[in-house]
Amino acid sequence: MIAQSFQYESPQTLQEAIELLHKYGDEAKIMSGGHSLIPMMKLRFAAPEAVIDINGIPGLAYIKEEDGMVKIGGLTRESELEHSDLLAKHFPIFADVTKLIADPQVRNMGTLGGNLAHGDAANDHPAVMLALRASVVATGAEGEREIPIDEFFYGFYMTALQHGEILTEIRIPVPPAGTGNAYHKLERKVGDYATTGVAVQLTIDSNGIVTAAGIGLTNVNPVPLRAARSEDALIGKPISEETLKLAAQYASEDCSPSSDLRGTEEYKRHVTGVLVKRMILKAAERAMQ
Amino acid sequence: MLKKITVTVNGTEHTAEVEPRLLLVHFIREVINLTGTHIGCDTSSCGACTILLDGKSIKSCTVLAVQANGKSVTTIEGLAPEGGPLHPLQEGFKENHALHCGFCTPGMIMRAHELLEHNNNPTEEEIRWGIAGNLCRCTGYNNIVKAVQWAGAKMRGAELPNTEPEFRCKNARRRIAKYGAGVRISSNTGQHFNLSTN
Ligand SMILES: Cc1cc2nc3c(=O)[nH]c(=O)nc-3n(C[C@H](O)[C@H](O)[C@H](O)COP(=O)(O)OP(=O)(O)OC[C@H]3O[C@@H](n4cnc5c(N)ncnc54)[C@H](O)[C@@H]3O)c2cc1C
Ligand code: FES
Ligand code: FES
């Protein structure tokens, strides 16, 4: 399969990339790892007039801790997230999630920025970012703006990024002691998109009371979903049979999956609840360590 | 508009004018005529087109040739010199019966190459996760796992594992009753086995 013809641009600076985006207007697409974009272009679901390859711009791939935040450059590859010691320290959830995204070759190309900017509720990172209460930095002609993750996903393949803006950084607050996080997805085979996926981050105080909770769901809603009622069901209480049951029930009620090859709506609601319970327990276990 | 690119493939620089939409795998197979890299699914699922781009295994059906501009590519042809000794991975696949039709083999080997670079003594689980992006319709993967372990052992200078394939004779009990235990039989790979029930 061959994509429709396009102009290929490989800017060497962010400034140049932004100028090119303005020059080509709506017909331009940014390319990071290309592992969602190229398949769509080959299938002719996308036919941009110009592809602006940002891989030649130095300084867009990094993982660092600064001002109480872990900052990840938009162009950071999945394989770099998978093997980062800094992330492993605060966020074992990254090892959970990256291992379940596609396969090693795809992870050598795919980037965190591209995974989020694609705006696909089937992708795994959006749910993780919801659980971790991340924010996203967009850089455009007017400079940078920071977008909280709850305001980032708009609709099917739609995000808050405006034309001419490049997702340059992801910021994640470093969680306090007593925090644990975990992700798992149900998949038909290794590397498949999720039938359902659940990301959880919990902070638990010395009395065993949950003081903060973040829960994100993958591929069971038109947009990546925060399971807000499930979070509320946990806060201010110890983890118990009762709170687990409520959190699971609310998530399965509040999501909106569609029946497809991966399962019926009813099945997906059910297994979402099951995974919510399991990930709460796993995050809690990690929080106590 | 054509774009001029220079790519170092297996140590040799190639310069060509290509359409931006040309896929790297087509550049490798059709522009510089190295057909060891296969195209299986053309949808980044099977791994047959796996090559190394600046040392990292990638699926060349999902990368544009223009993305390889100024970079180095290694294909299966680049692993061992023509007529020279095989690369330990190639030897491992040969010794362990890790291929039948051979269609998946170049991609499997290029993927395993990066895997062994990071860890030359991987466990079975690490290998199975490591080659999760490569499909094989023939072997059932067991001998591929063994081949990668064998190559790892060879590369780190350890003792080489036994390459005898696992062989279970379906009708062992009946045959033993007929011929007696310990009788040697030949398999269709030309090897000999002693009949036993375990
Ligand atoms: C076989 C296969 C299996 C996969 N399985 C999974 C899976 O299980 N889970 C999962 O989460 N993903 C999966 N993916 C998708 C993969 O993770 C993609 O790499 C990812 O979705 C997109 O990242 P990318 O860097 O490749 O982005 P690209 O493909 O380069 O871009 C994707 C979109 O985002 C835009 N974009 C990219 N970067 C930026 C930026 N910095 N600023 C603004 N816009 C930008 C592009 O214009 C494009 O519209 C799979 C892909 C393949 C090929
Ligand atoms: S041909 Fe590239 S992954 Fe199958
Ligand atoms: S040997 Fe035939 S596909 Fe693997």
A55 vs B: CB within 8 A: yes
Residue that has been written with the tokens 């405006």 in this structure: A162
By the CB < 8 Å criterion, does A102 face chain B? Answer: yes
Both structure tokens of A1:
């399969």
Task: Residue window 205-244, chain A: list those with CB within 8 Å of chain B.
Answer: none
What's the topology of domain A179-284?
Answer: Enolase-like; domain 1 (3.30.390)
First-to-last CA distance in chain A?
50
Cα–Cα distance for residue pair A2/A43, rounded to 1 Å: 8
Fold for the domain defined by A63-173: 3.30.465
Residue B144 has pLDDT above 90, yes or no: yes
pLDDT at position B136: 98
- What's the CA-to-centroid distance between B141 and ligand 3, angstroms? 9
Domains of chain B: 3-78 (3.10.20.30), 88-155 (1.10.150.120)
pLDDT > 70? residue A249: yes
Among candidate residues A211, A278, A214, A222, the one with its CA nearest the CA of residue A255? A222
Instruction: State the pLDDT confidence band at B180, using cuts at 50, 70 and 90.
Output: low
**Per-residue pLDDT at B82:** 87
Long-range Cβ contact pairs of A23-28 (< 8 A, separation 24 or more): A24/A49, A24/A50, A24/A52, A25/A163, A26/A163, A28/A52
Q: How far is A281 from chain B, CA to nearest CA, in Å?
A: 25
Cβ(A134)–Cβ(A170) under 8 Å?
A: yes
Place of tokens 């269709």: B188
CA distance A1 to chain B (A): 7
Q: What is the rounded distance in angstroms from the CA atom of residue A258 to the CA atom of residue A266?
A: 9
Q: Is pLDDT of B96 > 50?
A: yes
Q: Which fold has domain A7-53?
A: 3.30.43
Which ligand is in closest contact with the Cα of B50? 2
The alpha carbon of residue B183 and the mean position of all alpha carbons in its chain are separated, in whole angstroms, by 35
Confidence band, pLDDT 50/70/90 cuts, at residue A191: confident
Q: What's the rounded mean pLDDT across residues B7-32?
A: 98
**Across B79-83, average pLDDT:** 91
To test the pocket of ligand 2, the residue of B29, B39, B58 to mutate (highest count of ligand atoms within 8 Å of its CB) is B39
Q: Is it the case that residue B164 has pLDDT exceeding 80?
A: no
All residues of chain A having their beta carbon less than 8 Å from the beta carbon of residue B129 are: 99, 104, 190
Ligand nearest to the CA of A100: 1
Residue A51 is nearest to which of B20, B42, B130, comparing CB atoms?
B20
* ipTM confidence: 0.94
DSSP class per residue in B128-197 = HHHTTT---SSS-SHHHHHHHHHHHHHHTTPPPPP-PPP---TTHHHHHHHH-TT-EEE-TTS-EEE---
- Of the pLDDT bands very low, low, confident and very high (cuts 50, 70, 90), residue B163 is confident
Q: Give the per-residue pLDDT at B162.
A: 84
Whole-number CA gyration radius for chain A: 19
Q: Which residue of A has its CA nearest to B54?
A: A108
pLDDT above 70 coverage of chain B, percent: 83
Task: Search chain A and give the residue with CA nearest B26.
Answer: A2
CB contact under 8 A, B63 and A109: yes
* Residue A3 touches chain B, beta carbons under 8 Å: yes
The tokens 């803006």 sit on which residue? Answer: A165
Which numbered ligand comes closest to the C-alpha of A79?
A: 1
pLDDT in tens, A69-90: 999 999 999 999 999 999 999 9
* pLDDT classification of A118: cutoffs 50, 70, 90: very high
Q: Which of B149, B73, B66 is nearest to B110 (CA)?
A: B73
pLDDT at B176: 65
Share of chain B above pLDDT 90, in %: 79
Can you tell me which residue has the tokens 């106590």? A288
Residue A173 has pLDDT above 50, yes or no: yes
Cα–Cα distances in angstroms (integers) from residue B90 to residues B53, B80, B86, B128, B153, in the given order: 19, 9, 6, 18, 13
| Residues of chain B neighbouring A6 (CB-CB closer than 8 A) | 20-21
Please enumerate in sequence order all residues whose Cβ is within 8 A of that of B173, keeping only pairs 6 or more positions apart, or say none.
B197
Q: Is the pLDDT of residue A155 over 90?
A: no
Determine whether the interchain pair B64/A34 forms a contact, defined as Cβ–Cβ distance below 8 Å: yes
Please tell me the distance from the alpha carbon of residue B37 to that of residue B53, in angstroms, as a whole number. Answer: 13
pLDDT tens for each residue of B23-73: 999 999 999 999 999 999 999 999 999 999 999 999 999 999 999 999 999
pLDDT of residue B198: 45
Distance from CA of B193 to the nearest CA of A (A): 36
B75: helix, strand or coil: coil
Give the start-to-end residue ranges of the domains of chain A: 7-53, 63-173, 179-284
Note the pLDDT of residue B192.
Answer: 56
Atom of ligand 1 nearest to the CA of A120: 21
**Binding site membership of B46 for ligand 2 (Cβ less than 6 Å):** yes
Q: Is the pTM of this model over 0.95?
A: no
Positions of E strands within chain A = 7-9, 28-31, 50-53, 63-66, 69-73, 135-140, 143-148, 153-155, 158-159, 166-173, 179-186, 196-204, 210-218, 225-226
Contact B34, B8 (CB under 8 A): no
Q: Which two tokens stand for residue B175?
A: 């045959």
Average pLDDT for residues A173-186, to the nearest whole number?
98
- Fold match, A63-173 / A179-284: no
Our CA-based measurement puts residue B44 at a distance from the nearest CA of chain A, in whole angstroms, of 8
Q: Is the pLDDT of residue B182 over 90?
A: no
**Of A36, A43, A137, best ligand 1 pocket probe by most atoms within 8 Å of the beta carbon:** A36
Q: Which residues contact A151 (CB under 8 A, 6 or more apart)?
A: A160
